[in-house]
Amino acid sequence: MRIRVISSLIVLGSLIVATAALAAAPIKIGALFAVTGPASFLGEPERNSAKMVVDEINAAGGVKGHKLELVVYDTSGDATKAVQLATRLIKDDKVLAIIGPSTTGESMAVIPVAEKDHIPLISCSAGIKITEPVKRWVFKTAQNDTLAVGRIYQQLQKQRVRRVSILTVSDGFGSSGREQLKAQAARFGITVVSDDTYGPKDTDMTAQLTRIRGIKPDAIICWGTNPGPAVIARNARQLGLKIPLYMSHGVSSRKFIELAGDAAEGIRIPSGKVLVAGLLPKSDPQKKSLMTFVKDYQRHYHAEGDHFAGHAWDAVMLLKGAIERGGNSAATIRDQLEKTRQFHGIGGTFTYSAHDHAGLGKDAFVLVEVKGRDWVIVK
């Protein structure tokens, strides 16, 4: 009798195991984000939106019956840690693809790992070096600085502006912007007449602006992330500067207006479309993705989903697309990623190819301006 009970239990148990194995195994995806540390303004929203979109995909039944399983590690913005965690994701967690890291420095450090172990990596950082030259296993979702600079210069050229002063922050983001601003100027018939910098923790930039006022440029371009540009906006107002002020996509959020207050009026920036999702015409191909993303993010986190959060959203959705089209191993997912065509995401419309693993065109950026304490699209 007892033996029968035990053996039937064994049979029952093995049945349960068998059915669990039959219901498709989950697909493991790794994620490396700088959730803490100096780049946490990137990593935190990225982690939030990656978790959000994976939960939603699973709630809707997964991808082709497979649930997604997201393994997130915090790199705290440290390249060495990012490499260790990437190895751990590949060797211990046996993930099929990795999303992140958040910063260009970490991405560059992790690339050799992904290349060696043949794991597709979708970086969420902007540096142009990540996908140029093209690396077989590496893709990215964040818009290149080149595109942002190009968008500003295109506008300046249209307004026949010739002389610009640049004021950039002395960190990775600022120096990359500074390089691009100087490199592309000539192509648009623009001369950079002065080149100033400020420290990421500086609290007063009137000295730099006074100098620029003396030079009398036609426009000022400031490249940095909060709070520096907000201080600059306030300083410019204090000095009564009448020169048009352009800033980077690094301040593309409502937070900037909140910090700069009235001084933000009239400032123009190139921005991902997510900032003005509600204002886009219905004909815009990204409108549907953008509205879904903004509403979901608001519902889950009671915060504004910014374009950083969008990078991770795009990465997960691109993977989903690749798996739907038949990717079921690291190699096939990579091949299918490369075949992505016209995916309307948050950062723009992605079309990857063997020669282009960044996938975005000029239409990824719109030029927006602060009017009445809100962002509006510059026509």
Partner 1 sequence: MQFDQLLQYTLSGLSTGAIYALIGIGFSIIYNATGIINFAQGEFVMLGGMLTLFFLETLKLPLWAAIPCAVAASTAAGMLFERLAIRPLRRPTPINLVIITIGGSILIRGLAMLLWGKDTHSIPSFSGDDPIAVGGATILPQHLWIMGITLLIVAANKFYFYHTISGKAMRACSYNRRAAGLVGIDVRRMVLFSFIISSAMGSVAGIIVAPLTMTAYDVGVMLGLKGFCAAIIGGMSSGGATVVGGLLLGVLESLGAGLISSGYKDAIAFIVLLLILFVRPQGLFGKAQSERV
Q: Which residues bind partner 1 (CB under 8 A)?
A: 40-41, 44, 167, 170, 196-199, 201-204, 206-208, 210-211, 213-214, 226-227, 230-231, 234, 237-240, 255, 258-259, 261-263
What DSSP character marks residue 357? S
Distance CA 327, CA 359 (A): 19
Q: How far is CA 13 from CA 7, 32, 128, in A?
A: 10, 37, 53
Q: How far is CA 78 from CA 35, 37, 47, 74, 105, in A?
A: 11, 8, 16, 9, 8
User: Which contiguous run of DSSP H or E holds residue 323?
Assistant: helix 307-324
- CB 213 → partner 1: shortest distance, Å? 8
Of 221 and 366, which CB lies nearer to partner 1 in the complex structure? 221
- CB 329 → partner 1: shortest distance, Å? 38
- The Cβ of residue 302 has, within 10 Å, a number of other Cβ atoms equal to 7
Of 185 and 230, which CB lies nearer to partner 1 in the complex structure? 230
Of 227 and 270, which CB lies nearer to partner 1 in the complex structure? 227
DSSP codes of every residue in 84-107: HHHHHHHHTS--SEEE--SSHHHH
- CB 120 → partner 1: shortest distance, Å? 31
Of 143 and 168, which CB lies nearer to partner 1 in the complex structure? 168
Beta bridge partners of 140: 123
First to last CA, the chain: 83
- CB 304 → partner 1: shortest distance, Å? 12
Of 41 and 335, which CB lies nearer to partner 1 in the complex structure? 41
Of 65 and 214, which CB lies nearer to partner 1 in the complex structure? 214
- CB 217 → partner 1: shortest distance, Å? 15
Please give the torsion angle defined by the CA atoms of residues 137, 140, 145 and 149, in that order, rounded to the nearest 10 degrees: 110
- The Cβ of residue 288 has, within 10 Å, a number of other Cβ atoms equal to 11
- CB 254 → partner 1: shortest distance, Å? 12
- CB 374 → partner 1: shortest distance, Å? 17
Listed in sequence order, the DSSP H helices in the chain are: 2-22, 40-59, 79-91, 104-117, 145-158, 172-185, 206-215, 228-239, 254-260, 287-301, 307-324, 330-338
Of 213 and 357, which CB lies nearer to partner 1 in the complex structure? 213
